[in-house]
Structure 1
Amino acid sequence: MTDYKTLIDAETWAFIEKTNSYYPPDTIDYTITQQRAIYDRMCREFFAGYPQGVTAETTAVAAPTSSISIRIYRNAIPDGAAMVLYIHGGGFILGGLDSHDDVCAELCARTGFEVVSLNYRLAPEHLHPAAFDDAMDAFEWAAKTYDCPVLLCGDSAGGNLCAAVAHATRGHAKKPAGQVLIYPGLGGDHSKGSYVTHAEAPMLTVRDLDFYKHVRTGGVDMTGDITLYPLADAEFANLPPTVLITAQCDPLSSDGEAYRDRIVAAGGRATWFEEPGLVHGYLRARHMVGRARTSFTRIVEAVSALGHGDWIW
């Protein structure tokens, strides 16, 4: 059994306990409506505000399948080298423009890039591939709207959607310039690695993952669908430069390693960082946990470097 008392430091435990006080570990046993209310309240409790000089505009993009709400973050001193399409986490059933509002604002402030946050459709009201379709439509809109390179960045479920978009658009005239995937779920092998070692990790368990998958798919077996499981793809060539950042104490961590290895084996550029002692969802801990603060700086530096066309790893 994994000894989390040794792996996880006191600051991170304080974050876990604060999270659990708003979002108990058994929340997946509640109704979807209740889960969303609990999650939204938790996000409000962790909201850190906007850095000085950042403004945001909420608008919508007309897409073939739906009208997609987005929020555009702009810096008073802009760096127009690139723009970032940010796709939020939440197990494909939770979250929206407000859940990751301050994260996007801080990413904008620290990179100078314009950041567009996507409010994709959620399950179970909208089963797969609705969220993927929205992510694709948002990327196509960004590629047409912006004259600069478009970067993909997302956490957890959002990281999954970013990777799926990267695979689907690698043959396009204007494909993503890079992707930064933060503790993404990419459809890895549940019989080994972190899926076994950290099956009962604080903040996210394999049971949680199975629940989210069931809700997203409506219980239909979609094995081999690369828009759902990017690691199921048979071809990893021509993907954009990729930075993967995972938490050590997270069943999804091995997906970062596996995805990096597949890209590198195909001749591409990818690097993977496993953050020691951190847990799933640690982006919310970036102002109270030293390790999370350091990791968020790593994320900012990765986005900035890829946006300027640099590969520094």
Structure 2
Amino acid sequence: MTDYKTLIDAETWAYIERINSYYPPDTIDYTIAEQRAIYDRMCREFFAGYPQGVTAETTAIALVAHNIPIRVYRNATPNNAATVLYVHGGGFILGGLDSHDDVCAELCARTGHEVVSIDYRLAPEHLHPAAFDDVLGAFEWAAKTYRCPVLLCGDSAGGNLCAAVSHATRGHAKRPVGQMLIYAGLFGDRSKGSYVTHAEAPMLTVRDIEYYKHIRTGGVDRTGDITLSPLADADFANLPPTVLITAECDPLSSDGEAYRDRILAAGGRAWWFEEPGLVHAYLRGRHMVGRARASFTRIVDAVSALGRGDWIW
């Protein structure tokens, strides 16, 4: 059994306890409406505001069937090397433009890039592939709208959607310039690695992962569907330069390693870093946990490098 008392430091435990005070570990046993209310309240409690010089505009992308709400963050001193398309986490059932509002604002402030946050449709009202279709549609809109390259960035469920879009757009004239995947769930082999070692990790368990997948698919077996499970793809060639950041104490960590290895084996460029002693969803603790603060700086630096077209790893 994994000894989290030695792996996780006091600052991170304080963060976990504060999260649990707003969002208890048994929240998945509540109704979807109750879960969303709990999650939204937690997000408000952790909201850190906007850095100076960042403004945001909420608008929408008009697709054929429906509109996708977006929030566009701009820096007073812009860096036009790339535009960042940010895809939020939340297990495909939670979150929206407000849940990761300050993360996007800080990413904009520290990179200078314009950041576009996507409010994709959520399950169970909209089953897979609705969220994938929305993020793909948003990427295609951004590729046509912006003169600069588009960089994909997402955490958890959002990282899954970014990877799926990267696989789907390899043959497009305009493809992502890179992808930044933060503790992404890529649906790797759940019989080994971190899925076993950290099956009962604080903040995210294997039971949670199975629950979110079931809700997203409506219980339908979609084995082999790479728009759902990017690691199910048989071809990892021609993917954009990829940076993967995972947390050590997270059942999803092995997905980052496996995805890195398959891109490298196909001749691509990928870098994976596992953050020691951190847990899933640690981004919300970047202002109270030293390890999370250092990781967010790593993410900012990687986004900046990918936006410039640099490969420094």
Band the TM-score falls in, shorter-chain normalisation = over 0.9
Match of 1:63 in 2: 63
Shift of 1:65: 3.4
Match of 2:158 in 1: 158
Shift of 1:41: 0.3
| Alpha-carbon distance in structure 2 between the residues aligned to 1:221 and 1:64 | 28
Note if contact 1:65-1:133 (Cα within 8 Å) is conserved in structure 2. Answer: no
Match of 2:262 in 1: 262
CA deviations on 1:3-47 (whole Å, 9 max, x unpaired) are: 000000000000000000000000000000000000000000000
- For residues 223-302 of structure 1, the aligned pairs below 5 Å read 223-302=223-302
Match of 1:89 in 2: 89
- For residues 1-313 of structure 1, the aligned pairs below 5 Å read 1-313=1-313
- Quick one: which amino acid aligns to residue 285 of structure 2? A
Q: Secondary structure at 1:73's aligned position in 2?
A: strand
Q: Secondary structure at 1:264's aligned position in 2?
A: helix
Q: Secondary structure at 2:304's aligned position in 1?
A: helix
TM-score, scaled relative to structure 1: 1.00
| Alpha-carbon distance in structure 2 between the residues aligned to 1:301 and 1:163 | 20
Shift of 1:214: 0.4
CA deviations on 1:65-115 (whole Å, 9 max, x unpaired) are: 320000000000001000000000000000000000000000000000000
Q: Secondary structure at 2:283's aligned position in 1?
A: helix
Shift of 1:64: 2.7
Note if contact 1:184-1:255 (Cα within 8 Å) is conserved in structure 2. Answer: yes
Structure 2: which 5+ residue stretches go unaligned? none
Runs of 4+ in 1 over 6 A off after TM superposition: none
Q: Secondary structure at 1:60's aligned position in 2?
A: strand
CA deviations on 1:104-136 (whole Å, 9 max, x unpaired) are: 000000000000000000000000000000000
- Quick one: which amino acid aligns to residue 228 of structure 1? L
| Alpha-carbon distance in structure 1 between the residues aligned to 2:291 and 2:65 | 41
Q: Secondary structure at 1:302's aligned position in 2?
A: helix
Q: Secondary structure at 1:11's aligned position in 2?
A: helix
| Alpha-carbon distance in structure 2 between the residues aligned to 1:65 and 1:173 | 24
CA deviations on 1:143-196 (whole Å, 9 max, x unpaired) are: 000000100000000000000000000110000000000000001000000000
- Quick one: which amino acid aligns to residue 60 of structure 1? A
| Alpha-carbon distance in structure 2 between the residues aligned to 1:57 and 1:273 | 33
Number of matched residues? 313
